[in-house]
Amino acid sequence: MDDGKKIKSRPKQREPGEHERSLVIEGTAKPVVGKPVGAVVAGVAVLLALHRAQRPLRASEVAAAAKLHRGTAFNILKTLHREGVVAFNERDRTYSVGTLVLELAHGVLRTSGLLDVVRPEMFSLAERVKVTVALAKVTENYDLVMLDFVGGGFRVDSYFGVGRRSPRFSGASGLVMAAFSGATPEFVEEQYEHTEWFRRPPFEEYVERIATTRTRGFALDQGNRRNGLTQVAVPIFSQSGYLALVLTAADFSYAMTEEKIGEVARAMLAFSDRMSSELVRLRLE
């Protein structure tokens, strides 16, 4: 599809400075105000170790993943289990993230304004153009974390889950990140080899897609990221010009004709324009 002359956005992204880029690329944490509480830092490390694992972990495995002494990790796990944050399986002596975390995630949606401000707009968009729509937050290290998804188009939910972290720079949402996030071309090329694709396009072709995405304001992926799925993604910029959110629409490729792709892209760009002015009402940090 070549709709460059018909569909254009007015991105307001502002390039970060070199210092800001280095902080983001290296994954350095934000400056800490006040003295960090060691027990809290260790507790977060334990939760992150459980979150990143592909299966429940024993205490010794958690200690290794979190880089903590075994006794420290064990005590933290016991405390978190008592408070309902971590689940414990008596049979195999393993730990996993507890369901209380899901309640906390709902609290994020409720108190951030997403449920009141953004979700109704997402429902309206999804119903109007008959697609599944997903909203993701841009992290400091160029990942995307799923905040919400709605819709009646593509219904295989294994690809969309609230809290799911997406690989960098793959698919339509990854193209938006590469085009508008301020990531250096060198960093994009380095990370490209580690991205997930059903059919990975040659990097030269990917660079051309980045340029096309910048020109027309939206990204298009027709089956490269997921077999049989077509995705359209648009950036949502903060008032200061930084890429804050990425909105992605997906449907089965047989349903995404040239005409429908154009309709979806126009509707999403209009959504992006409206939401940019609403971001000041959201609390997503």
pTM over 0.75, yes/no: no
Assigned CATH topology for domain 107-281? Beta-Lactamase (3.30.450)
Strand partners, 137: 145, 245
Enumerate the CATH 1.10.10.10 domain ranges in the chain, comma separated. Answer: 38-98
User: Within 10 Å of residue 241's Cβ, how many Cβ atoms?
Assistant: 16
CA separation (Å) from 22 to 1, 75, 140, 243?
Answer: 36, 36, 11, 17
Report the residue count for the chain. 285
CATH architecture of 38-98: Orthogonal Bundle (1.10)
Q: Are 195 and 170 in contact (CB under 8 A)?
A: yes
Note down pLDDT in tens along the chain; length 285 residues.
554 444 444 444 444 443 333 333 333 445 555 788 889 999 999 998 998 888 999 999 999 999 999 999 999 999 999 998 999 999 999 999 888 877 776 676 666 666 677 788 888 898 888 899 988 888 888 888 888 888 765 554 445 555 566 668 989 999 999 999 999 999 999 999 888 888 999 999 999 999 999 999 999 999 999 889 999 999 999 877 889 889 999 999 999 999 999 999 999 999 998 888 777 666 555
Q: Are 52 and 90 in contact (CB under 8 A)?
A: no
In 3D, which of 76, 124, 86, 105 has the Cα closest to residue 284?
A: 105
Enumerate the CATH 3.30.450.40 domain ranges in the chain, comma separated. Answer: 107-281
Q: How far is 119 from 194, CA to CA, in rounded Å?
A: 32
